[in-house]
Amino acid sequence: MRRSSYVFAGLGALTLLLAVELYYPVFARPHRDGRLLEERRLVARLGLTDPALFTEARYTRNPSLADLNTPFQDHPGSFDHFPSGTFVPPPATPGKGWLLFQPEAAK
């Protein structure tokens, strides 16, 4: 056998493996969708707003409901205490505008 036959066979086997893996989500879809539907129903019944990925602080457990000042929750200018603060970006503050005043005469 030629050398390339082995290599092509190996690459073919890997491609087949990848194809099987990519088919797996399709195969697992009914189960997954059933599970997610159940979970979604539970979320709706309980009114949950956030996944329980980081449970150590208010602003990492419920980032969507946390106060807007959460990165400085203990005193202004304090450093983030928890490593998860690295993963949970600070909330988007709405205020980016300027409040401008004009002298009376310029109006």
Partner 1 sequence: MTPFLRRQRALADFTLAALARRKGKNIALIAVYSVVVFVLASAMFFAASLRFETTTVLEGAPEITVQKITLGRQDLIEGSVADEIAAIRGLTEAHPRLWGYYYDRINGANYTVMVPDDPEMMPDPGQIAIGEGIPRARGLEWAGAPVFLSRYEGDLKKFDVARTFSRDSALMTSDLMLMNEADFRDFFDIPEGRYTDVVARVRNPNEVATIVQKGSNALPQMRFVTRADIARTYQKLFDWREGLLTALAFAGILAFVIFAAEKASGLSAEEAREIGILKAVGWNTRDVIAMKMWEGGLISLAAFLIGTVAGFAHVFFFGAPLFAPILKGWAVIYPDFPLSPHVDGLQLLTLALLTTLPYIAATVVPIWRTASADPDAVMR
Residues at the site binding partner 1, with contacts judged by CB under 8 A: 2-4, 7-8, 10-11, 14-15, 17-18, 21-22, 24-25, 28-29, 32, 35-36, 38-58, 60-65, 67-69, 82-84, 86-89, 91-92
Question: Which CB, 25 or 103, lies closer to partner 1?
Answer: 25
| Structure-token pair, residue 1 | 């056998």
CB of 104 to partner 1, least distance (A): 28
Rounded CA gap, 92 and 68, in Å? 8
Environment class of 104 (CB within 10 Å of its CB; exposed 0-12, middle 13-18, buried 19+): exposed
CB of 76 to partner 1, least distance (A): 10
Matching residue, tokens 């988007």: 92
